[in-house]
A and B are shown apart, each in its own frame.
Chain A
Amino acid sequence: MTASTDSSALDLPPGLRARLMVGLEVHVELATRSKMFTSAPNVAHPDNFDAGPNTLCDPVVVGMPGVLPVINQRAVEMSIRVGLALGCRIARFTKWDRKSYYYPDLPKNYQISQYDLPLCFDGALDIPTSEELDAPTKRIRIIRAHLEEDAGKLLHEAPGGVPIDHSIVDLNRAGTPLLEIVTFPDLESPAEVVMFAQTLRHICRHLGVTEGIMQKGHMRFEPNINVILEKDGQVFKTPIVEIKNLNSFKALHDSVAYEYHRQVEDWLQTGKVMDKRAKTTRGWDDVRCETTLQRHKEDADEYRYFPDPDLVPLVIEDRWIEELVAAMPALPRAREQRYVKELGLGLTEARILLDDPRLTTFFEEVLAAGVEPRRATALLLNNGAKRANERNCGVPQLGITPAQIKQIVALADAGKIGSVAVDTLFGLCCDPAPGSQSIDEPRTSASGASGINLPSGSAPGSAGGYSGSGGYAPSQNLEDVARAHGLIQVSDTAALEKFVAEVLADPRNTKALADLQAGKEKALGALLGQVMKLSKGQANPQVVSQIIKQKLQG
């Protein structure tokens, strides 16, 4: 998709120029094990994707009397890592504020958020302007990224689409850590908006802070849109519209494009421009493909923010930031460059490897095990992907370990197994097994200037990783396995000579023999095939070829 061309498909009257201006608010659900302010399991963590309604609740989630929030340190850490990836400054002192509004999916009737002191601020994200490897980038400035808790969900039909005459609440999502990222209005076309959103999603997934599954609402977008019109040297700005809660790239693209047209047409008809009143809020109708004005609440902007007295301010020490900076992984765009330019992979292959961060990690572990990059790519994207598709999982979840892959490659290189056996052996090493872990995460301790505790662990807990418990223990010698399964090629000349003699003696092969002696190399294939058949596929084809040639010469 190209970034800045598709919004001009609008027929404007002569002399009128229109420029789209979009700022984006992005909500990212962080995949911590537990919720933002309590140890109840987090619905945005893969372990809990399938939890039944209202099963991820505790007294804090439900907002019962007398309970108190405690900050999830891991969520703070993830947010800082996203902030660092976006080139943000990280606040050394930040606090929590209550945002008040009444809604049944918000149990306390206030949301714990950050009002005037966001955790991350003053950043930028450079987005590519085309699909090319070395596409020029455009800088989108980031105003802030702050941490808050998500609300639950209000449902108007029972599970399974059963109609009901009342609304029901599912609080599984309530209290999920939510990072809200706000950009300046630097986006100028629907394609740019989508490119920004996709780039951000890619980065967040590679940082391991979210699974980024759009259908599950792991990332939700709220574009703020208006149009700058120029006519006869005069500038007009259409009123700003915020579109709420978009959770697909298509809806994001189409709603921004629609709104651009709508606002220009509205201006042409009414001449209405931006004034001091609050921006209006519109919703996106996926079926009719249009935005609709949402019911305007009188007190829409009356959130009565004030510092949450149940939480102590967060003091973030330089040392912690330094540790997080040191542990930052290479971002996807940098890796893409390296894969193509240094490892010699094709751009398409590189992008497939980078599309799923677990696969990227796994790929790099296979490289670290000593496998040549293109060889590793071929194994993962052919032998691996085939099985992953069958099992509906990712390659890293197959159970095969990087060390096993290295062993398979070594066996092939030593001529001990052939290409068919490579695939068979790869398959023998696969057998996914799920793992489980407790949900407790470090939380910040008491008041006082110390603020947050430093994490005790080393690397941040990535949501992914392979199980490493495949069909064969990673420690087991795969040559033994290959032998047990009859996959080892026979290179023993004495044994092979018997097969070759048998084939050469066969009167049906007289013609092939003659052809070969006449220099027709093609004839070797037919003879080789027969030897292979006799050896039940275990003969080393190279050795066999040599023997045949020797026999003919001798």
Chain B
Amino acid sequence: MKEGLRFLPMDPTHTTLLECRQAIAGRQISAVEATQAYLQRIARIDPKFSCFVETYPQRAMEQAAQVDAGKVRGPLAGVPLAIKDVLCTDYGRTTCGSHMLENFRAPYTATAVRKLEEAGAVILGKTNMDEFAMGSSTENSAHFITRNPWDPSRVPGGSSGGSAAAMGADLCAGALGTDTGGSIRQPAAYCGVVGLKPTYGRISRWGLVAFASSLDQIGPFTRTVTDAALLLGVMAGHDPLDSTSANAPVPDYLAGLAQPGNGQPLRIGLAKQYLSDQNDPQVNQAVAEAMEVFRKLGATAVEVDMPHTEYGIPTYYLVATAEASSNLARYDGVHYGHRTNEAEDLVDLYCRSRAEGFGPEVKRRIMLGTYALSSGYYDAYYLRALKVRRLIKGDFDRAFAQCDVLLCPTTTGPAFKIGDKIDDPLAMYMNDVYTVNVNLAGLPAVSLPGGFAQVGQTRLPVGIQLIGPAFGEETLLRIAHLFQQHTLFHQARPAAVV
């Protein structure tokens, strides 16, 4: 074919992010070649899974060429990434998986994305999601359903299902998701990849279209904890445009992975409230085996009590929906976004635009949240939820006085079948039982590939979750990295995409 065509010394789509970066930095491959390899793989494989809402091949190739020309340097020079369609960019569209924003083009770029690009990352495209990040299966996308790379008849999880599936199918070297109640960790578990939800305030939310402002946090999907540490380090830090972003120093997370601990044996916290016998036994087994890995490395298991765990789901669904009902009020057809064609008057314009623009799950949550904030109900619902939220945070505070990290499942079981829960919102909400409390408490947590569940003829990944104290990412990632150094789960690939 073309003159420049050559056999790559390596396939960048089958490396970790760090390896890809090093290969580009070492000129074993060019950034253009790496980007092209991913774009070609997306073209070939994504039609089976529908991870991407849109791609930016031309822009990505230009970004890569800039890297190769030495005009862009940085810790991520030439690394191709995918971002969730809830992150605004001043190129392309930002639809949030909704008809409401079908043609929305933001005139600004999310701080997290801007920092990645300034570090040299190449943005391949935007990934599918549950509408406005509301859902646990990506079935609530207004565009299409995304499929799990391990079994296309199953969901990839949600709401960041597109990014998780793209990572699981090696359609990017790393991806961004957002996590409001588990939307990074749950799909990471379902797709067999690493998903990190940082401490609330660790990464700026500027340019992240809000679902629940006090819970939302951006985080990476990667193959390895090392890669997650690298991306976190680039994105973390105070942003003058987000007053809730923390003005706390950003440690070198990557270097921190190699640091020895404090000399004391690791204390791994286990709470009985997180190891329900309602779980798929293969999930509980993965957690037990992970504990065994840590024990062999000298860690001790500490039993902790988290008595308010069971109130997490109702509390979360009051706080998150209350905030969402307010955050989504701006989508009214007046200033931008979908507007109905047949309004009789102003109120009718509001009603029809919103009725046409939003999907059923979004409407359900707006109604729940509006109710929770209404006079006469505020004290009983929203205010009480805030109080319980403090109790849940108290559970974690007490636990971290006894242990370094908590070990628990990410989900109750492996990925479920498309369509299985879509008509049963409560069953769907219960997916988040092990993840929401972390958001209510504002803590960092990571889901790691921790084993497999055999479901009939299908082998599906299972995630384990490690939870750390606020701004304790350094220790959290170090312990997670330790696990990956002694396990091979993260190297497994679904047969369908190899």
Contact = CB atoms under 8 A, between A and B. Distances in A.
Given A65-B106, A446-B238, A109 B329 contact: yes
B330 A67 contact: no
A311 B374 contact: no
Contact of B330 (A63, A304, A308, A310): A63
A102 interface: yes
Contacts of B207: 66-67
A445 B332 CA distance: 31
| Most chain A CB neighbours (cut-off 10 Å) among B209, B241, B370 | B241
A289 interface: no
A373 interface: no
Contacts, number: 122
A110 B246 contact: no
B213 interface: yes
B346 interface: yes
Given A62-B336, A65-B88, A306-B326, A446 B246 contact: yes
B170 interface: no
A100 B323 CA distance: 11
Contact of A66 (B110, B201, B350): B110
Given A65-B104, A66-B209, A67-B108, A448 B214 contact: no
Nearest to B373: A304
B107 A59 contact: yes
Contact of A302 (B201, B208, B246, B374): B374
Nearest to A99: B326
Contacts of A310: 210, 213, 243-244
Nearest to B212: A309
Contacts of A302: 374-375
Nearest to B333: A104
| Most chain B CB neighbours (cut-off 10 Å) among A63, A304, A448 | A304
A414 B208 CA distance: 72
B240 interface: yes
Contacts of A68: 205-206, 241-244
A303 to B, nearest CB: 8
B400 interface: no
Contact of A59 (B86, B108, B247, B374): B108
Interface in A405-444: 443-444
Interface in B354-382: 370, 373-375, 378, 382
Interface string B313-331: 0000000001101100111
A306 B96 CA distance: 25
Interface string B332-352: 101110000000001000100
A208 interface: no
A66 B208 contact: yes
| Most chain B CB neighbours (cut-off 10 Å) among A67, A102, A110 | A67
Contacts of A447: 201, 243-247
Contact of A446 (B96, B212, B247, B336): B247
Contacts of B323: 306, 309
B240 A64 contact: no
A107 interface: yes
A448 B243 CA distance: 10
| Most chain B CB neighbours (cut-off 10 Å) among A64, A65, A446, A447 | A65
B206 A102 contact: no
A306 B373 contact: yes
Nearest to B346: A104
Interface string A437-472: 000000111111000000000000000000000000
B94 interface: yes
A486 B277 CA distance: 105
A445 B88 contact: no
Interface in B106-128: 106-108, 110
A107 B331 CA distance: 9
A104 B334 contact: yes
Given A66-B110, A306-B373, A446-B245, A108 B329 contact: yes
Contacts of B88: 65-66
Contacts of A100: 326, 329, 373
B482 interface: no
B288 interface: no
Given A63-B335, A100-B326, A302-B374, A445 B247 contact: yes
A98 B245 CA distance: 20
22 contacts: A65-B88, A65-B330, A66-B106, A68-B205, A68-B243, A71-B243, A98-B326, A102-B329, A107-B334, A110-B326, A169-B334, A304-B326, A304-B378, A306-B326, A308-B213, A309-B244, A310-B210, A444-B243, A446-B201, A446-B246, A447-B245, A448-B246
Given A66-B106, A447-B243, 7 more contacts: A68-B242, A70-B243, A100-B326, A100-B373, A108-B330, A110-B326, A445-B247
The 7 closest A-B pairs by CB, nearest first: A446-B247, A109-B329, A309-B214, A309-B213, A304-B373, A65-B209, A66-B209
